[in-house]
């Protein structure tokens, strides 16, 4: 009897020790959830811009011992899901992370439509949503409806206006005419941008001589480019996502769509874009941009390459990383994983990031890059709403 009693006491003591150890482990960990495409039409973009920066951030934070909380250091534990480029799957993933995985924070998904589709879920379960790959003119309405939703890239109108301003300046300088061929992907991103651009271009004195949309995931874009070329434009503007940015450029080269201003949106800044087309993209305009020559950006690019094995892109990669820097600084500023307190901290503080200082006004960052351009093998920001280091726009001179 005495021996059995001793064994039971030993087992109970071991169990208590295990429970105490498990509790300590839980306190020393912050669970981060992430859902974005690993398959489907947008996987090419998210595997360049989204996932590598999450990997980079998690590894860097854990390498320095974790986030500094009031209770001590807390390492990051990542829970990740593939949304298959399906908004319905993204909603299910985020709900699963909130209710089953019980993650402390969830990283905003990839793509405008996905951020808008999942905003109610973030709000319902009390998670701050720092949207990166999303632009919209509905920001005032959206942030009023969802007090935990933050925008980093800016508005649709700002992007369309910046492109119009560049084309008008080139026209006024006598470098191009007023005729524009405009196409867009039939997704929330492309539809909203095209809708904003039409009146902006008209007011600016630009004549949209070709206006065509195409479904997300369209494989054969040759008819789109053929129609654009037949309109004899002076400039070509595509509100495009990664697969079509590559496809439209390929067809423009094949069909020799020879315009002095050639703009494609998302993925124009990708290293693979320059790698695939080489010097042919010199002078190509695209969405966003960075100043790659700042010490902070150079250090970030080197770390990105070292840890992920991939080159960062020239726009949304650094913005994605900046959003994670913001989350990190907010958690450490609060000193805990209290999501309400972290949300308030994001609303009321300025953050030092690789992109420069970021301050949210009514949950929106209003200082951002709008247009970039390939110049001599690098992608530079050429237009912004206040970022330093803009390069002068160059005229495109053919595809050779």
pLDDT tens for each residue of 132-157: 989 899 999 999 999 999 999 989 99
Query: Cβ(217)–Cβ(242) under 8 Å?
Result: no
Q: What pLDDT is stored for residue 28 in this prediction?
A: 87
Q: Let me know whether 228 and 374 are in one domain.
A: yes
Cα dihedral 356, 361, 364, 368 sign: negative
Residue 5 above 60 pLDDT? no
In whole numbers, what is the pLDDT of the chain averaged over residues?
Answer: 92
Q: Let me know whether 228 and 110 are in one domain.
A: no
Q: Give the number of domains in the chain.
A: 2
Mean pLDDT in residue range 58-76: 97
Q: Is 2 a domain residue? A: no
State the Cα angle at 172 between 171 and 178, rounded to 5°: 30
Paired residues of 34 in beta bridges: 80, 107
Compute the distance between CA of residue 331 and CA of residue 341 in angstroms, rounded to an integer. 9
Q: Let me know whether 173 and 245 are in one domain.
A: yes
Helix boundaries (H) for 335-399: 339-347
Q: Is 1 a domain residue? A: no
Mean pLDDT in residue range 246-259: 97
Mean pLDDT in residue range 280-293: 96
| % of the chain residues with pLDDT over 70 | 93
Q: Let me know whether 115 and 207 are in one domain.
A: no
- Confidence class for position 294, pLDDT limits 50, 70, 90: very high
Q: Let me know whether 18 and 78 are in one domain.
A: yes
Q: Let me know whether 181 and 217 are in one domain.
A: yes
Q: What pLDDT is stored for residue 101 in this prediction?
A: 98
pLDDT tens for each residue of 7-17: 343 444 334 33
- Confidence class for position 188, pLDDT limits 50, 70, 90: confident
Residue 131: domain span: 9-153+293-367
Pairing verdict, β 285-287 and 261-264: parallel
- Reduced to 3 states (helix: H, G, I; strand: E, B; else coil), residue 3 is helix
Query: Cβ(380)–Cβ(372) under 8 Å?
Result: yes
Cα dihedral 10, 16, 18, 20 sign: negative
Q: Let me know whether 33 and 59 are in one domain.
A: yes
Q: Let me know whether 143 and 187 are in one domain.
A: no
Q: Let me know whether 185 and 129 are in one domain.
A: no
- In Å, what is the CA distance from 65 to each residue of 28, 62, 339, 342? 10, 5, 21, 20
Contacts of 238 (CB under 8 A, 6+ apart): 182, 183, 184, 244, 245, 248, 263, 264, 265
- Confidence class for position 4, pLDDT limits 50, 70, 90: very low
Extract the tokens encoding 362.
């009514």
Q: Is 396 a domain residue? A: no
Q: Is 392 a domain residue? A: no
Q: What is the pTM of this model?
A: 0.86
Residue 253 above 90 pLDDT? yes
Q: What is the CATH number of the domain that holds 191?
A: 3.40.50.2300
């Amino acid at each position: 009897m005495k021996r059995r009693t001793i064994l039971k006491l030993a087992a109970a003591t071991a169990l208590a020790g295990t429970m105490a150890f498990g509790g300590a482990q839980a306190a020393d960990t912050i669970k981060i959830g992430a859902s974005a495409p690993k398959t489907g039409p947008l996987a090419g973009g998210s595997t360049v811009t989204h996932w590598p920066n999450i990997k980079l951030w998690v590894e860097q934070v854990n390498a320095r011992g974790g986030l500094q909380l009031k209770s001590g250091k807390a390492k990051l534990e990542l829970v990740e899901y593939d949304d298959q480029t399906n908004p319905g799957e993204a909603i299910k993933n985020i709900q699963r992370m909130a209710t089953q995985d019980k993650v402390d924070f969830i990283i905003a998904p990839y793509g405008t439509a996905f951020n808008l589709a999942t905003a109610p879920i973030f709000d319902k379960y009390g998670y701050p949503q720092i949207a990166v790959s999303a632009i919209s003119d509905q920001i005032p309405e959206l942030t009023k409806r969802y007090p935990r939703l933050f925008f980093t890239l800016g508005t649709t109108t700002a992007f369309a206006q910046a492109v119009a301003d560049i084309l008008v300046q080139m026209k006024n300088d006598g470098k191009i005419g007023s005729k524009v061929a405009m196409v867009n992907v039939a997704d929330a991103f492309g539809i909203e941008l095209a809708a904003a651009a039409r009146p902006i271009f008209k007011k600016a004195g630009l004549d949209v001589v070709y206006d065509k949309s195409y479904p997300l995931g369209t494989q054969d874009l040759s008819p789109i480019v053929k129609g654009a070329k037949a309109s004899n434009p002076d400039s070509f503007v595509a509100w495009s996502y990664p697969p079509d940015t590559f496809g439209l450029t390929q067809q423009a080269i094949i069909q020799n769509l020879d315009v002095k201003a050639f703009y494609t949106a998302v993925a124009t800044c990708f290293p693979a874009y320059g790698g695939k087309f080489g010097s042919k993209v010199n002078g190509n305009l695209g969405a966003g941009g960075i100043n790659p020559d700042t010490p902070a950006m150079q250090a970030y690019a080197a770390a990105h390459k070292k840890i992920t094995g991939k080159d960062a892109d020239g726009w949304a990669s650094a913005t994605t990383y900046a959003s994670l820097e913001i989350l990190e600084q907010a958690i450490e500023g609060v000193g805990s994983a209290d999501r309400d307190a972290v949300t308030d901290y994001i609303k009321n503080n300025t953050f030092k990031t690789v992109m420069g200082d970021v301050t949210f006004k009514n949950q929106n960052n209003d200082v951002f890059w709008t247009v970039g351009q390939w110049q001599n093998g690098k992608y530079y920001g050429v237009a912004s709403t206040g970022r330093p280091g803009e390069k002068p726009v160059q005229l495109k001179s053919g595809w050779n």
